[in-house]
Every structure is written in C-alpha cells, then in structure tokens.
Amino acid sequence: MIQLVDDLLGQMQAKGAVELIEDFAGAIPIEVIGNLLGIPRSERGPLRDWSLAILGALEPQLTSEQEDWGNRAVLEFKTFLGQIVDDRRANPGNPETDVLTRLMQDDPNGGLTEVELYQNCIFILNAGHETTTNLIGNALDLLDRHRDKRTELLNRPNQIATAVDEFLRLESPNQFGNRLTTEDVTLHGQNIPAGTDVHLCIGAANRDSRQFDRPDDMLLDRRPNKHHAFAGGPHTCVGLTLARMEGKIAVSRFLNRFPNYQIADGAKRGGRIRFRGFAQLPAQV
Ligand code: HEM
C-alpha cells in the first residue's frame, strides 16, 4: 500500500496542479479493493463509476435517472465479475490471502450461492470505496482549513493514528445508519415501537457534547474517541482496520511529500445526504 501511495504522490508531484479526489483519495481504495478481489490492474477502470452509481442510488430521494444508473451499474458489474469468478474457479488462489477464493469456498453450512457471491463482491467495493475516499479527502480538507493542526501533525507524526480517528469523528464519511426495531425500545425517554424504521445520525452522534469534550474542535490526540463512524454492534464495519490503515498511510505520506499543499478554488462537495465528502478537491502541491 505504501508503494501504491508513493507512486500516486510521484505522479502528482510531476503535475503540480492536481485533483485530490481523482488523483489520490479515490484512486487508493480502488486499487486496494482491486487487489482484495484479484481484479487485474488493467481492468479496474470502470470500478469507481459503478461504485458511485450504486451508492448514489441509496439516497433517500432519487431521480429516475439515478435509479436507472444504479441498476445498470449492478448489471454491468455482475457481468464483469462473471469473467473474474470463472477464471478464479479454473485457477483458485490462496484462500488465506485471496478474498474471492475464500468467498467461493464451501463451508460446513453450505457456501454462498452465486447471487450471494456476486452481491458480496459488489458490497465490498461499495462499502470500502467511497467511504475511504471521503476519509482521505475530508482529512486533507480539514488540514488545509486548520493550518495550525497541519503543523502540529508534521511536528508530531506519531499522532497520525489518533488524528485519523478525529477526522473520522468530525467529518464522518458515512452519515447515516438504518435499522428496523425488532422489539419495543425506550431511548432517552422516547418509546420506539417494534417495526419502526430508525435512521441513526452518525454525524450528529459524533458531535454530542455529552460524549465529547469540545465536540466541534479538532483535537489530533483526542483520547478516548468513541465515535460512531464505523457504526457499532454486530454490524460494525468489518473493514475498519483496513480503512484506518489506508487513512494513516495516505495522509501521513501526503503531508510528508507536500507539507505546503493548498486547496485551490473549485472544491465541490459530493452532494449526497448519506455520504459526506468531496466530488472534486483541486489543489496545488
Ligand atoms: C473510512 C472508511 C469506512 C467507513 C467510514 C465505513 C463505515 C461503515 C459503517 C458505518 C458500516 C455500518 C453500516 C450499517 O450497518 O448501517 C459499515 C459496514 C461495513 N463495512 Fe465499512 N466503512 C469504511 C471502510 C470499509 C472498507 C475499506 C471495507 C472493506 C473493504 C468495509 C466493509 C464493510 C462491510 C463488509 C460492512 C458490513 C458489515 C456488516 O453488516 O456486518 N468498510 N462500514
């Protein structure tokens, strides 16, 4: 991963004027997930657009165009995966290191059906791509707006682990969780009957002053930092260790290479309700 990040940094250095989402934040998770699923490098081109299309179709209000685009992306991705799966069946990888081979293995309770196999691959891409892109993009935006914090991190590079969690808390890449209550629940005096759709506002919980001292301030060494960026309970993000690792390597190596970077005019938010991040983040490095 370090090599991948350094290669991207080298390409950006040669350009000077860069687009941090396309050239960096969005490129890292695509390569990482491409490696996880064993998708050949030369064939990873459409992955990012498929992921954006599918996640875009999760917004609470959709145009018919967004819905069509999302459905089309699932079908195209499935066809694409068909070739990869056939190839892996013929040439299985090491199940300890190759996620696709592992997913295709039988287990005592019966393996995944064909549909489950495809859906899990699509899910891994979707779960790990835009979220991690947002983490890296949001972190670089925060460190541009708070130059004193950038200096602090440059002077104390071993703060990167707690810093990444603080970026996740302040600008959570995934702002919502959805749950359906299976029994009556009482929360803070509020009765929620069984069968209620509950929308959990992760971004708001992460700035709750009952949990966090100075919740709107960025404290790079905040400890404890019990944020909900990765949700909680049985469905806590299974990619959280990988995501944190991507965030730490990307942000620390970027800062080392480009300590004086500046976000340029033309930054554009993703415009999603569920996901918080940037569609475009031009910068001068
Ligand atoms: C900064 C990056 C990430 C953030 C903020 C994030 C956030 C989340 C959240 C909030 C959930 C819970 C969703 C829910 O149940 O409502 C979740 C679940 C999940 N995430 Fe992540 N995620 C990130 C990166 C990743 C990566 C890199 C992967 C894998 C490559 C991944 C795989 C998953 C999977 C498989 C689940 C479903 C777990 C389950 O339902 O049991 N995530 N993630």
Q: List, in order of start, the domains of the chain with CATH numbers.
A: 2-172+206-284 (1.10.630.10)
Nearest CA to ligand 1 atom 31: 239
What's the mean pLDDT in 57-86?
A: 91
Instruction: Residue 145: name the closest of 278, 55, 29, 37 by CA.
Output: 278
pLDDT at 159 over 80: yes
pLDDT at 108 over 80: no
Question: To 10 degrees, the CA torsion angle through 121, 125, 127, 128?
Answer: 130
Cα(239) to centroid(ligand 1), Å: 6
**What are the pocket residues of ligand 1 if the criterion is a CB atom closer than 6 Å to any ligand atom?**
33, 124, 127-128, 131-132, 135, 173-174, 177, 229-231, 235, 237-239, 242-243
pLDDT at 107 over 80: no
What's the mean pLDDT in 264-275?
A: 92
Cα(131) to centroid(ligand 1), Å: 8
Instruction: Residue 129: name the closest of 228, 50, 65 by CA.
Output: 50
C-alpha 102, offset from chain centre: 22
Q: What is the pLDDT of residue 30?
A: 93
Q: What is the pLDDT of residue 55?
A: 87
Residues 6+ apart with CB under 8 A from 144: 150, 261, 262, 263, 283
Q: What is the pLDDT of residue 109?
A: 78
Q: Using pLDDT thresholds of 50, 70 and 90, give the confidence band for residue 272.
A: confident
How far apart CA 160 and CA 271 sit, in angstroms, is 28
The pairs formed by 268-274 with CB atoms below 8 angstroms and a separation of 24 or more are: 270/130, 270/134, 272/55, 272/56, 272/59, 273/59, 273/60, 273/175, 273/176, 274/55, 274/58, 274/59, 274/60, 274/174, 274/175, 274/176
**Percent share of the chain, pLDDT over 90:** 82
Nearest CA to ligand 1 atom 20: 237
Q: What is the pLDDT of residue 97?
A: 86
pLDDT tens digits along 12-44:
999 989 999 999 999 999 999 999 888 999 999
What's the mean pLDDT in 192-211?
A: 96
Q: Using pLDDT thresholds of 50, 70 and 90, give the confidence band for residue 227.
A: very high
* Beta strand extents in the chain (DSSP E only): 17-19, 176-180, 185-187, 190-192, 197-201, 262-263, 268-269, 278-280, 282-284
Q: Using pLDDT thresholds of 50, 70 and 90, give the confidence band for residue 253.
A: very high
